[in-house]
Every structure is written in structure tokens, then in C-alpha cells.
Structure 1
Amino acid sequence: MIEGIIWAIMAGLMLGLYALPEKYAKDFEFENTWGLFFAINTFLIPNIAAFGLIDGFSEVLAAIPMSVLIGMGVSSFLWGIGVMMWGKAINHIGLSLGFSIFIGTIILVGSLIPFMVGGLPDTQVFITILAGIAVVLIGVVTNGRAGILRQKDEEGEQKKGSMSTGIMIAVIGGLLATGFSYANTVGGAVIHEACQQAGNPEWVSAIAVMYIIYIFGGIAIAAYFSWQLTAKKLWGRFRTPSFGRNTLLATIMGIFNFAASAAFAYAAFKLGNNGGTVGYAIFNTVSVAVAIVSGLITKEWVNASFKAKGSLYLGLACMIVGIVIVAVGNGLS
């Protein structure tokens, strides 16, 4: 169990840090930077990792039952749509609130999906894990409040219509993004068995699972950014002396992001029967905490009020306590 928790924490650390290189991109608009990142992240890196590290990967894919592949493909495509909706929600309600609602929905629903698919554990284990998730959600909500307090002076009051629309988009996007958890739960064991039969070490199955999730999710993401780049006439912005530098930064982001997801899949496997729930909760919670701490280090909160910082620290404390409770609940099984 300890090994699985360590892998889940490492996954969360990488996910929380992966976007930092984006701050150093030059001469790109948002759509250029993230469009390039997602192209590398969802198509290039998964293919290099899967075909370069998995022996007989073509045979592994052929061994996956069509029903499992379809289930993973559809849910992964929905995950891609959910990620894009999160980006739209930020336009309405800001990064802090949008991030909190989106991740809060993912943690709540995504952590429960493995129970829905594989059945409930013992009552004591189930209640303890749920209690931990509840404490995590309190922390996420508290962090969202901190973000609202910080944004209030910087951006002014949001219009009611914009706020309600943004919240709705963030919640729906979070629900769709839980397709990531469903795909991992449905395909994890089957793909692990296929990789083992092909003579691969057990950790390799995590790459195979993420390959399917990222490729199908990438289809939705590629369609969105192609539309945005065309509508805003931004394709020409790729012609810049900084293209090489920006490509390197996007590649670093992609490696961290894909490695984080693969580490989560391996953590879920090592955590046993409740690994999908426990690993998912730890993975997302740590990523949020790391993102917030990195914001503190880069002085994003330097001008925030004492009230906003107090809410932020309380939220972080709740999240840490929550994942400890979740880990204890898994240990009871």
C-alpha cells in the first residue's frame, strides 16, 4: 500500500508542476501554447512511450476486448471535452474558482466511479474513504473561496449571468472529465493482463492504459484547438523565432503530464481493490496543493489580503488531512 501511495503522490506532484514551463513561452497566444502542448502530449509522447517501452504493443492492443476498447475510447473522448470545457469556464469565473469547482467535481465523482464499476468495499472502509474525500472537498471549496477573495480586487465583481454560466460549465466539464477515471477502471486489469502475457514488467501496463486515454481524448482536444486557432486567425503565430524554444517547453510539459497520468495508473494498480478511488483522490488532491504552493512561490498571492491567505492555508490543511484519512481507509481493507 505504501508504494502505491508514494506513486500517487509523485503523480500529483508532476501534474501540479507540469504547467510551469508555460510561463516562459514567448510570442504565442494561449491557443498556440496549449494547442502545441496538447498535440505533443496526446499524440506524440504516448506513441513514443508505448511503442518504445512496451514489447509487442501491437499484440497488446489486439488482445483488448472490443467492448473494453470502446468503453475506454468513448469515456476518454468525453474526458477531452471536459478538459476543454474547464478552459471555457475560466473565461467566465476565473482560474481559482473554475479550478476548484472542476477539480472538486472530479474528485467527488471520479473517486466514486471505481466503486460503481467494481462494487463497494466493507462498510468501515467505505465510510472512512468517503469521510476523507469529504474533507478534501471542504479544502477545495475553501481554496476556491480564497481565490474569489483574491480575484475580487483584481478583476471586480463578476456578472451574475457570467458566474452562473461559468459554474455550470465547470460542473459539466468536471463530470465529463471523470471519463478518465472510468477508462482507467474499466481497462486497467485487462490491459495489465495483456502486457504480462507479452512478457512486459507490470509497470508498463500503466503506459498502455494512458495511451488509449490520451489518443481518444486528444481527438476532442485537437478538434477544439484547430477550431480556435482558425477562428482567431492564430496559425501564423507559430512562425516565430521562439518556435523551437516554445516547442521544447511544450514537450517538457507533455512529458510531465503524461508521466503523471501513467504514475497514477500504476499507483491505482499497486493500491489494490480500492486503488482507483484512493489513488484518484490522492493524485488530484496533491496536484491542486502543488499548484497552489507553486503559486505562492511565484508570488501570485503576494498582494492577497490576510483573509484570502487564511482561507488558502485552511484549504490546504483540509486537503492534506483528507488524503491522510483516505489512505487510512485504504489501509483498513
Structure 2
Amino acid sequence: MFIGILAALIAGTMLGLYALPGKFTSDFEEENKWSLFFILTMFAVPLIATFGLMKGVGAIYSEIDSSILITMIVSSFLWGVGVMMWGKAIDHIGMSLGFSLFIGTVILVGSVLPLGIAISKGQPLPSTPTLIAILIGIAIVLMGVLSNGKAGLKREADEMALKAGEAKAGEARAGEGSAGEGSAGDSETAKPKSYAIGILIAVTGGLLATGFNVAFTYGAGPLADAVKANGNPGWMTAMAVMLPVFLSGGVAMTVYFLIQLSKKKAWGKFKTPAFGKNFVLIFIMAVFHYAASAMYAFAADSLGANGPVVVYAIFNTTCLVVAVVSGILTGEWTKASPQAKRWLYTGLTCMVVGVLVLAYGQTLDQPTAVETTVETAANSFMNLHQVGA
């Protein structure tokens, strides 16, 4: 049990920290950083991990119905667009806000999606107590998402007010003539990224990222049987699902960044003395991003029938807390007012409490021990987020 809980904590920490090394790259535009990251995390790392750890990879996928793979590929393409937007949101609004808004949106939709799928398949709804707990948890998480959105807008207002005050102070020191020129120059060069746009990108990305949930819903069962039939442990089902998901999502991201790198003429930025350092930092990002999901699946499998429920709460709570704290420690909220920080902390608290309520709701209809833990793990892994993670 200790190993499973520790693995869940490590998984949440890895996902919460995965974007942090990107703050220390140099001489790269956003497009250089994120294109290299997605190439590594969507293609290189999954292929190396899958073929290095899993037995009978070819046989596993040959046993799956083609219609299931097509469904996984299409939904994964949308997921890829969503994760790409997540990266853009982090650049706009920082780790604290980018993580909490994106993952909060995924938790919201990921909690409702299984209910919709169950209804479409004619399956019974959860019991009344479970349904009430799920709805309460969703409402609390939604409050957290809205609170974090408010925190971002307030932080933007604070930073703009501070810049305006600094500009006025500069004008007073420089005198009327030079002040006019300096003000015009600042307006030309300093083009602040809109927090409202960043928030919209994060939420939209979170909605699209639920394509991972769809892919996992349709592929987890058949792949679980094939994975076990080829002599692999049950937790590797997550890896089997992630390979086609990551490859398909990676196609969407590759097309986007090929266009962006050419449009902004950023290809030359790869030719920098800092490329070696940047590559190492971005490779760490890619490993953390991918390994978080595999570690999550291992943790859920290690804790038995109740494992997915426990790990779901530990993982998401750890991820959110680590992301927000790391953003604060790296100075993202230095210029924010106490009011903006209170909105941030309120949002984080709501989202953590909401995740715990959702996890509790899942325990109320917990399946009996004779049912397969793979299906149970699939449902919770779906809600995990995503993200490839």
C-alpha cells in the first residue's frame, strides 16, 4: 500500500512540475520550446518506453478491432490540439493559473463524461448518493475554476497598474520631451499577453483534452485483454492506450508547430549555443509529462480494488498544489495584489476539496472485489485528465 501511495505522490509531483524546466531555457521562442517538447513527449518517449518495457507490442495492436483504433485516433487528435493549447496557456498566464484552469476543466468534463457515455450505452446511472456526491464535487471544482479565472484577471490588472505607475514615474524623471518618445516606444515593444485570452485558451484546451477520455473509454477494455494475454502486468494497459493516443495527438501538434515555426521565422533559433542545455531541460519535461500517467496507472494497480479512487484524489491534489506552489516560488505572483492571491488560494482550495468529494463519491458505488480492477482503473484514469500526462 505504501508503494502505491508513494507512486501516486510521485506521479502528481511529476505532472505538477513538468513545465518548470521550460522556464530556464534560453534563446528559444515559445514555438521552439514547445515544438521540441511535443516531438519528444509524443513520439520519442512513448515509443522508447512502450517497446522497451512491453512484451508483444505488435501482437497487442493487431488484436484490436480497426473501428476502435479509428475512434481512438480521431479523439486523440483533438486531445493533441487541447494539450498544445495548454502549453500556450502556460506561456500566457503562468504555471499556477495554467495548470489549475486546464486541469480543473478536465476534471469537470471528465467527471460528467462517463455519465453521458453510460447513458448512451443504456447502462444504469450511479446510485442517488453517488450522483449527489459527484454533482457536489463538480460544483465545488467549478467554483475553483471561476475563482482562478478571477485571480488571473485581477493579477493582470495589478501588473498593468504597476507598469502604468512605473511609466508615469519615468516620464516625471525624463521630462516632457523624452518622456513622450519613451512612452511611444514602450507601447510598441512591450506587448503584454492578455490574461483573458490565456484563460480562454486554457479552458478550451481542457475541453478538447477530454478526447483522451474518449480514447481510453473505447480502447482500455480490449487493450487490457491483449496486454495481459501477452504476459504484461495490468497497469501497462495505460501505456498501451497512450501509444496510439500520443502518436495521433502528436500529429496535430507537429502540423501546428511546423506552420508556426515557418510563420514566425523561428527555425534559426534552434541554432544556438544553448541548444544542448535547452534539449536536456525539455527532455526532462517530456519524461515527466509521460511518466506521470504510467506512474499513476502503476499506483492504481498496486492498491487493489479501491486503488483508482484513492490514487485519483492523491494524484490530482498533488499535481494542483505542486503546480501552484512552484509558480509562486518562481515569481509568477510577485506583482499580484493580496486580493489576487486570495482568489488563487480560494480556487486551489475549492479544486482540492472538489477532487476529494468526487473521489469519495466513487467509493459509494465501488465494485466488488471479483470485478476486474482494469475496468475500475480505466474509469478513474479517464478522469485523471487527459493529459497524457
The alignment's TM-score, normalised by the length of structure 1, stands at: 0.86
Q: Contact conserved, 1:281 with 1:323, CA < 8 A, in 2?
A: yes
Match in the other structure for 2:180: none
Mean CA deviation greater in 224-233 or 139-148: 139-148
Amino acid at match of 1:116: G
Offset from partner CA, 1:190-232 (integer Å, 9 cap, x none): 2111110000111222111111111100000011111111111
Match in the other structure for 1:24: 24
Mean CA deviation greater in 202-211 or 284-293: 284-293
Match in the other structure for 2:115: 115
Match in the other structure for 1:302: 334
Confirm whether residue 126 of structure 1 aligns to residue 131 of structure 2.
yes
Q: 1-side partners of 2:51 and 2:268: how far apart?
A: 33
Q: 2-side partners of 1:102 and 1:262: how far apart?
A: 20
Q: 1-side partners of 2:14 and 2:196: how far apart?
A: 32
Q: In structure 2, which of residues 252, 258, 261 is the aligned counterpart of residue 229 of structure 1?
A: 261
Between structure 1 and structure 2, the one with the greater Rg is: 2
Q: In structure 1, which of residues 316, 325, 330 is the aligned counterpart of residue 357 of structure 2?
A: 325
Amino acid at match of 2:241: V
Q: 2-side partners of 1:308 and 1:147: how far apart?
A: 7
Query: Unaligned 5+ residue runs, structure 2?
Result: 165-193, 367-389
Q: Contact conserved, 1:7 with 1:266, CA < 8 A, in 2?
A: yes
Match in the other structure for 2:75: 75
Match in the other structure for 2:142: 137
Match in the other structure for 2:281: 249
Offset from partner CA, 1:126-183 (integer Å, 9 cap, x none): 22123123212212221221222112122469xxxx7877666554433221101111
Q: Contact conserved, 2:159 with 2:336, CA < 8 A, in 1?
A: no
RMSD over aligned CA atoms reads 3.1
Match in the other structure for 1:46: 46
User: Where in structure 2 are the equivalents of 1:1-333 lying within 5 Å?
Assistant: 9-86=9-86, 94-95=93-94, 101-118=101-118, 119=123, 120-155=125-160, 170-266=202-298, 283-284=315-316, 286-332=318-364, 333=366
User: Are the structure 2 counterparts of residues 163 and 31 from structure 1 closer, same or farther at C-alpha, using a change threshold of 3 Å?
Assistant: closer
Q: 1-side partners of 2:232 and 2:329: how far apart?
A: 41
The Cα shift of 1:7 comes to 5.4
Q: 2-side partners of 1:45 and 1:198: how far apart?
A: 22
State, as a whole percentage, how many aligned pairs show the same letter.
Answer: 54
Q: Contact conserved, 2:158 with 2:335, CA < 8 A, in 1?
A: no
Amino acid at match of 2:341: K
Q: Contact conserved, 1:274 with 1:330, CA < 8 A, in 2?
A: no
The Cα shift of 1:84 comes to 3.0
Residue aligned with 2:233, SS:
coil
Query: Unaligned 5+ residue runs, structure 1?
Result: none
Q: Contact conserved, 1:79 with 1:178, CA < 8 A, in 2?
A: yes
User: Are the structure 2 counterparts of residues 285 and 74 from structure 1 closer, same or farther at C-alpha, using a change threshold of 3 Å?
Assistant: farther
The Cα shift of 1:270 comes to 7.3
Q: Contact conserved, 2:141 with 2:354, CA < 8 A, in 1?
A: yes
User: Are the structure 2 counterparts of residues 139 and 36 from structure 1 closer, same or farther at C-alpha, using a change threshold of 3 Å?
Assistant: same
Q: 2-side partners of 1:234 and 1:49: how far apart?
A: 30
The alignment's TM-score, normalised by the length of structure 2, stands at: 0.74
Q: 1-side partners of 2:148 and 2:303: how far apart?
A: 28
Count of residues paired in the alignment: 328
The Cα shift of 1:55 comes to 0.6
Amino acid at match of 1:27: D
The Cα shift of 1:114 comes to 2.3
The Cα shift of 1:112 comes to 1.9
